[in-house]
Amino acid sequence: MTLLELMVWMVIGFAGYQFWRIRAISERTNTYLTQYCETHGLQLLSIARAKTRFSFKYGKPDWHSLFNFEFSSNGEDRYTGEVELIGVSVIRTEVPPHRV
């Protein structure tokens, strides 16, 4: 095995690891929003990733992700909220004013 082959395998492994890391972040967001909506009596309609970028926020390198989600409070109206994460840690959840 040459040094070039070793480097290629390391790049492939790193790319695979980052793919699974981003999937874990998406799954954590889905779990968090499901619990959040159940706690607040909301119906979760959809979740979409707005952006994901590599960041050194809070001193450690990790993925900085922003997700948009749609929910309903009475079954008729549709509202859009926002969740911000660093890695799998939720930093901010923003929900617009809605009918109860």
Cβ 64 vs Cβ 85: under 8 Å: yes
pLDDT of residue 75: 85
Q: Taking the CB of residue 5, how many other CB atoms lie within 10 A of it?
A: 9
- Which residues touch 83 (CB under 8 Å, ≥6 apart)? 29, 32, 33, 66, 67, 69, 90, 92, 93, 94
- Every domain of the chain and the residues it spans: 3-94
- Check the CA dihedral 89-91-96-100 and report its sign: positive
pLDDT of residue 60: 84
10-residue block means of pLDDT along the chain (100 residues)? 93 95 95 96 95 87 95 92 94 90
